[in-house]
Structure 1
Amino acid sequence: MIQPDLVELVALRGAAHDIALHARKPVLARLQGAHRSAQRGRGLEFEEVRLYTPGDDARNIDWRVTARRGQAHTKLFREERERPVWIVADLHVGLYFGSRLQLKSALLLRAAAILAWVATMDGDRLGAVISDANNQVSIFPPRSREAGVLPVLEGLVQAQPKQPGEESFNNLNKLLTTLKPLLQPGSLVLVLSDFSALDDNSETLLANISLHNDIRLIGLVDPLEYTGLPDGSYRAGLPGRLWWLDGNRTRRLWQEKWAARKKYVDDMANRLNLPVIRLDTANPVTEALPQLLREPSWQI
């Protein structure tokens, strides 16, 4: 299967047109700025210094300028309208797997690229934390327009697993731990993972982050995971550690394990009131993701 390159991810900008990560707003809200106050926090951005006039907030007096010019000056601020959108890309080595159209890692890259373009076309600032197959985390601070998108896309291409390998099972928690101190209240956090390593620590981290930010979960699945092997015998495993599996004999237990894992993720999402969608390797992401983004639970 072909792994995405930077050219393909840049071209996915076309798939981002006519979709959004936030709800469509009435005219008044659009006149006031790019986002309404549904965010849990909002920053103020310094704009200019002018002479102090009666009625100005004394707390905003710029004492350095006042001392230099001999007259009281005050700082003016404008409300910051660019929301930080963070992509959390859990590119662990287990995503080097796919039985249909694409690898799970390729599905993650393509979905992340569309989400990145949607965010910047909405006027948001894009940032990312990306883990690779070696459990190394790269940080991309939020930036606007192409200056925010292109480094993230390059980071995704470089981090995608190139071959099977041993799982570390702590990539997701390491990503969330890295992200938490970087967040500005009111950020939107998009977590892309197959959530195979989700545990109690993950839930605690997600709960803490969701106190002052919006989180959306994007789960990656492959048909073989939820249907099990077809009839017949198959060799499975890693190089040097291969064994035979019988499709008919293992299918029931296989499907039970998958159902339990899915339930664990769904129960956690329900407890934290986090919207979750799933993307399947059997479906082109350019068709599946735009439709899912239009669902009411994803409109912020």
Structure 2
Amino acid sequence: MSQDTDQTLELLKRVKRIEIKAKRLSNEVFAGEYHSAFRGRGMAFSEVREYALGDDIRDIDWNVTARYAHPHVKVFEEERQLTVMLLIDMSGSQDFGTQSETKKQLATEIAATIAVSAIQNNDKIGAILFTDKVEKYIPPKGGRKHILYIIRELLGFKPQSSATDIAVPLTTLRKVIKKCCTAFLISDFETDVQSFEKALSVVAPKHDLVAIRVYDRHDEELPSMGLVQMKDMESGESIWIDTSRSSVRKAFSDYHIQQLEGRKKLFGKFNVDFLELHTGEDYVPALVQLFKKRS
């Protein structure tokens, strides 16, 4: 058996394991919360009827009103099918992890669970895999076969770039999805918030956006290990740091606290739900809490 065949079989096994776990979590935990948290966010035009006392004047259809010389309003109803988009960071920093998994593995499990929940509610699911460019766009579709395809891409995809630009998937989402959708932006957000604030300001009012940060505890906490060579997994640059110095560890921690506050402030400014999940953590309670909060 060739090495390529072995790798393909191992990938298929991993896909199956992820699917089984995601389906179990969706069935046992998320089904009700997902339905109430993300149902009915989109509104579709249904019909035109005569204006009645108490109707919102902003819903008046002026063309029909002029035709019949009597006020008529547009009636909208909740769309039965929702479009869910996964915007997933595939940059080099996602391969980092000091616990039982990498950030990429955690992001894949979270994305798979959301995807399974969406399909079980007859919603369509799509994905944008990005670095500092769109590495792959998967148009939204329904069905188990489509989910397995997305999971397979998340597990086995090899990006061309290792850098990050959060503005890229947001700008792409605005271009490719015209109607309101629910979008999950999953990244470690190891980038300056100012770099994507403008894109966020355009996308957030149109789409129902949820930001999920996946991180490792050592992204923001340096252990005392003496002189250590640290490599930026996106730029490839390396520097030596004396981690035995408390001032160095504190400066490192303070910087990341400032970054976190900046992210919270930015997402709050545009009413975007923001959740942080770290590697090695049971992410289920936090996701359930997020869904309940949105219900």
What is the TM-score with the length of structure 2 in the denominator? 0.73
Which residues of 2 match residues 67-86 of structure 1 at below 5 A? 80-86=79-85
Matched positions, count:
249
Question: Are residue 289 (structure 1) and residue 268 (structure 2) matched?
Answer: no
SS at match of 2:255: helix
Deviations 1:205-246 (A, max 9, x none): 222222222110100111112222224232222699544322
In structure 1, the residue matched to 2:43 is: 41
Aligned partner (choices 249, 263, 266) of residue 264 of structure 2: 266
Residue-by-residue CA offset, 1:138-160 (whole Å, 9 max, x unaligned):
11111112143122112212336
Which amino acid in the other structure matches residue 260 of structure 2? K
Please give the alpha-carbon distance, in whole angstroms, between the structure 2 residues aligned to 1:190 and 1:243. Answer: 34
Which deviates the most, 173-182 or 86-95?
173-182
Distance 1:152 1:43 in 2: 31
Give the counterpart letter for 1:289 in structure 2. Answer: V
Per the alignment, residue 180 of structure 1 pairs with 174
Q: Give the alignment of 1:136-285 within 5 angstroms.
A: 136-159=134-157, 167-170=162-165, 172-237=166-231, 242-249=238-245, 250-283=248-281
Change (3 A) 1:160 1:229: farther
Q: Using the TM superposition, give the Cα deviation of residue 5 of structure 1 relative to its aligned residue in structure 2, in angstroms.
A: 3.3
Q: Which amino acid aligns with 1:281?
A: T
Q: Going by fraction, where is helix more abundant, 1 or 2? A: 2
8 Å contact from structure 1 (residues 86, 129) kept in 2: yes
Q: Using the alignment, how far apart are the partners of 2:43 and 2:195 within structure 1?
A: 25
Question: Would the alpha carbon gap of residues 121 and 296 (structure 1) be closer, same or farther in structure 2, given more than 3 Å must change?
Answer: closer
What residue is the counterpart of 1:66 in the other structure? Answer: none
8 A contact 1:40–1:213 mirrored in 2: no
Q: Secondary structure at the match of 2:150?
A: helix
- Aligned residues with identical type, % of pairs: 18
Deviation of 1:96 after TM superposition, in Å, equals: 1.4
Aligned CA RMSD, in angstroms, stands at 3.1
Q: Which residue of 2 aligns with 1:14?
A: 24
- From the superposition, tell whether residues 257 and 238 of structure 1 become closer, same or farther in structure 2 (CA, over 3 Å): closer
Q: Residue 29 of structure 1 corresponds to which residue in structure 2? A: none
Residues 6-36 of structure 1 deviation map (CA, whole Å, 9 limit, x = unaligned): 23322222222231464549xxxxxxxx934
CA contact (8 A) 1:42 1:185 kept: no
Structure-2 separation of matches of 1:136 and 1:205: 15
Distance 1:258 1:89, change over 3 A: same
Kindly state the Cα deviation for residue 107 of structure 1 after the two structures are TM-superposed.
1.2
AA aligned to 1:11 is I
2:110 is the alignment partner of 1:100: no
Alpha carbons 1:269, 1:276 under 8 Å: kept: yes
Q: Give the whole-Å Cα distance in 1 for the aligned partners of 2:198 and 2:45.
A: 26
**Deviation (angstroms), 1:180:** 1.1
Q: CA deviation at 1:80?
A: 4.4
Letter in 2 for 1:292: L
Cα distance between partner residues in 2 of 1:86 and 1:43: 22
SS at match of 1:101: coil
Please state whether the residue corresponding to 2:43 is helix, strand or coil: coil
Cα 1:43–1:190 change in 2 (3 A) is: farther
1:61-112 CA-partner distances (Å, limit 9, x unpaired): xxxxxxxxxxxxxxxxx97411000000011111111111211111111111
**Distance of aligned partners of 1:282 and 1:212 in 2 relative to their CA distance in 1, 3 Å threshold:** same
Q: How far apart, CA to CA, are the structure 2 residues paired with 1:238 and 1:295?
A: 32
